[in-house]
Amino acid sequence: MKDPNCIFCKIANGEIPSRTLYEDEKFRVIMDLGPATRGHSLILPKEHYANLYEIPEDLAADAAKLAKKLAIRMTEKLGADGFNIIQNNNEAAGQTVPHYHVHLIPRYQNDGQHILWNPGEMPAEEMDEILNTILAD
């Protein structure tokens, strides 16, 4: 399934040219146009799924395996010091393009990026209440 209005469908299926660092029958991996760091790239499934809620489990698993493979390769080739793999779902979580994608972000000492969250604080009772909500049938 492709979405005719989706830019990532067009890129993933080669209708719009892109800097492609990997391609197989299920995925195209492209360089991000607004890179957070040197080498920031995106794993795009060729089929359209809006987000993690919609993508089939097997395809998400394949994307995770590919992320591991490319993280190793990119770390070696680019001389990265670390790596973030980020996957945003829905606007509230920072997703701007509603076609499932995995960010591959090589990290370098002092690269000036602030990708991690601000640690919070929470009372124990609230932690317990959240845990029970998740565990409840």
Give me the active site residues, please.
101
Tell whether residue 7 is a contact of ligand 5GP (CB under 6 A).
yes
Dist. CA 83–CA 63, nearest whole Å:
16
Phi and psi for 131 in degrees, rounded to 5?
A: -60, -45
When binding is defined by CB under 6 A, the residue of 94, 112, 119, 123 that contacts ligand 5GP is: 94
* Binding span for ligand 5GP by CB under 6 A among 51-59, 93-101, 111-119, 127-135: 93-101
The residues in 5-24 that bind Zn ion, with binding defined as CB under 5 A, are: 6, 8-9
Closest CA to 70 of 105, 117, 113, 119: 105
Residue 9's binding partner among ligand 5GP, Zn ion, none (Cβ under 5 to 8 angstroms by kind) is Zn ion
DSSP string, 2-23: --TT-HHHHHHTTSS---EEEE
Contact set with ligand 5GP (CB under 6 A): 7, 18, 30-34, 42, 88, 94-97
